[in-house]
């Protein structure tokens, strides 16, 4: 499906002005009509459609070019909407919702039949979250329906953290975009399966494993290493994601990056390096050096990660060498995204 014009609604993140509310209501009306609309959340921009309308949900997959066996997250504005979607709410889920909702935590429940089949990719569970973003919450209230929404980018590309990123990827492919400014967290939500006896972490994100365990005790971690013939149990577990056009390599040692840059230049490649503010002056021989936050503040790295990956495309980098981050706290989520972007290649 294509559109001659993708509508654009520019609203203020923090203003509840009548003008902003009217624009949001207009965007929400298109969702109720079965169209697909992109909107900001505190994590990344989402591509939303009525989660109870199978035809509308299929338009998400068409717009993104997303594989049909990859489930979606349903977004709600109010806890009361859970009753439309899930058959039971375990005690553990109640504790987590009280602590982390609204926020960047997606919980997996046993589903109800009302959920459109394409949302769950044939699974008997559904992933749900309540976003912590004023524009997202207002849009969901105005739509009055639960909204299925993966990231609003072409499948496999870096997730969008600005409306401009969405427009670049999906212009003419969706009905409209609600521009609520730049997102905050910068990485997709944590995904936790609460339908198990012991909850299982399927995707690291803005809420860390340590924070989850402080509330509910032991949390198991799924390695997320699926073969091509397996069905992913959650969004973000399968396929290469978040990738720039150039080939991305993760490199353990900074000195090794210097060697690899020199070799790639000899081979005639346009070379990029993903580093941090502390290392920006180290890689002067590279064609494109993109500092991504500060190594002493991993939240700043998470916020800037996808925008940084997109910059390499803007500058035509053919090969990109990235520094790595510690596998602890938010660093686990950052490395998860970088490993997906690199296509699962072993760090050099």
Strands 200-203, 190-193: pairing is: antiparallel
Does the pLDDT value for residue 2 go beyond 80?
Answer: no
pLDDT of residue 345: 65
CATH number of 103's domain: 3.90.870.10
pLDDT of residue 227: 38
The pLDDT tens digits of the residues spanning 21-35 come to: 999 999 999 999 999
Phi-psi region of 343 (alpha: psi -120 to 50; beta: other; left: phi over 0): left
Q: 209: pLDDT confidence band, cut at 50, 70 and 90?
A: very high
CA distances from 26 to 35, 53, 137 (A): 12, 19, 15
Residue ranges of the binding site: 43, 66, 70, 75, 125, 129, 149, 151, 159, 189, 203, 242
Residue ranges of the binding site for ATP: 66, 70, 125, 151, 159, 203, 242
Strands 147-148, 73-75: pairing is: antiparallel
Asked if 336 and 203 sit in the same domain, the reply is no
Q: Provide the whole-model pTM.
A: 0.93
Does the pLDDT value for residue 324 go beyond 50?
Answer: yes
Does the pLDDT value for residue 232 go beyond 70?
Answer: no
pLDDT of residue 66: 87
Q: Which domain holds residue 316?
A: 247-341
Q: Count H helices and E strands in the chain, helices first.
A: 11, 15
Query: For the chain, what is the domain count?
Result: 2
Pinpoint the alpha helices (H) of 78-145: 82-85, 91-100, 117-120, 134-143
With beta carbons less than 8 A apart as the criterion, state whether 180 and 133 touch. yes
Q: Is 311 helix (H, G, I), strand (E, B) or coil?
A: helix
pLDDT of residue 242: 85
Asked if 12 and 135 sit in the same domain, the reply is yes
**In this structure, is residue 259 part of a structural domain?**
yes
Phi-psi region of 242 (alpha: psi -120 to 50; beta: other; left: phi over 0): left
* pLDDT: which is higher, 241 or 343: 343
Residue ranges of the binding site for L-threonine: 43, 75, 129, 149, 189
With beta carbons less than 8 A apart as the criterion, state whether 88 and 212 touch. no
Least confident among 151-155, 157-161, 225-229, 339-343: 225-229
With beta carbons less than 8 A apart as the criterion, state whether 315 and 272 touch. yes
Asked if 134 and 207 sit in the same domain, the reply is yes
Asked if 22 and 143 sit in the same domain, the reply is yes
pLDDT of residue 228: 40
The pLDDT tens digits of the residues spanning 243-283 come to: 999 999 999 999 999 999 999 999 999 999 999 999 999 99
CB environment 99-125: b (16+ within 10 A), e (fewer): ebbbbbbbbbbbbeeebbebbbbebeb
Does the pLDDT value for residue 105 go beyond 50?
Answer: yes
Region 118-133: mean pLDDT is: 96
**In this structure, is residue 347 part of a structural domain?**
no
pLDDT of residue 346: 59
Asked if 263 and 186 sit in the same domain, the reply is no
pLDDT of residue 67: 85
151: which strand partners?
Answer: 46
With beta carbons less than 8 A apart as the criterion, state whether 335 and 324 touch. yes
Does the pLDDT value for residue 344 go beyond 80?
Answer: no
Asked if 147 and 195 sit in the same domain, the reply is yes
């Amino acid at each position: 499906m294509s559109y001659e014009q993708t509508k654009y609604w520019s609203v203020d993140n923090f203003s509840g002005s009548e003008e902003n509310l009217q624009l949001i209501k207009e965007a929400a009306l298109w969702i109720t009509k079965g169209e697909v609309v992109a909107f900001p959340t505190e994590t990344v921009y989402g591509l939303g459609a009525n989660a109870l309308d199978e035809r509308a949900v299929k338009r998400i997959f068409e717009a993104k070019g997303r594989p049909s066996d990859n489930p979606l997250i349903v977004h709600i504005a109010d806890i009361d909407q859970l009753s439309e979607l899930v058959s039971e709410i375990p005690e553990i889920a109640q504790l987590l919702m009280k602590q982390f909702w609204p926020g960047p935590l997606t919980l997996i429940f046993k589903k109800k039949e009302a959920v459109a089949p394409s949302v769950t990719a044939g699974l008997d569970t559904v992933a749900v979250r309540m976003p912590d973003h004023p524009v997202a919450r207002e849009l969901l209230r105005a739509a009055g329906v639960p909204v299925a929404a993966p990231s609003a980018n072409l499948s496999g590309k870096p997730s969008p953290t600005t409306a401009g990123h969405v427009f670049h990827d999906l212009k003419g492919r969706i009905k409209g975009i609600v521009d609520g400014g730049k997102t905050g967290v910068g990485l997709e939500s944590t995904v936790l399966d609460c339908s198990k006896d012991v909850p299982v972490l399927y995707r690291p994100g803005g809420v860390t494993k340590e924070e989850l365990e402080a509330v509910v005790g032991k949390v198991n971690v799924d390695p997320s290493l699926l073969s091509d013939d397996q069905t992913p149990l959650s969004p973000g577990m399968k396929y290469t994601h978040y990738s720039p056009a150039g080939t991305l390599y993760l490199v353990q040692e900074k000195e090794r990056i210097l060697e690899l840059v020199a070799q790639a230049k000899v081979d005639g490649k346009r070379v990029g390096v993903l580093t941090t503010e502390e290392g920006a002056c180290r890689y002067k021989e590279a064609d494109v050096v993109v500092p991504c936050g500060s190594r002493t503040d991993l939240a700043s790295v998470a916020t800037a990660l996808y925008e940084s990956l997109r910059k390499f495309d803007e500058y035509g980098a053919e090969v990109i060498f990235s520094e790595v981050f510690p596998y602890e706290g938010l660093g686990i989520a950052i490395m998860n995204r970088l490993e997906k972007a690199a296509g699962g290649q072993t760090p050099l």
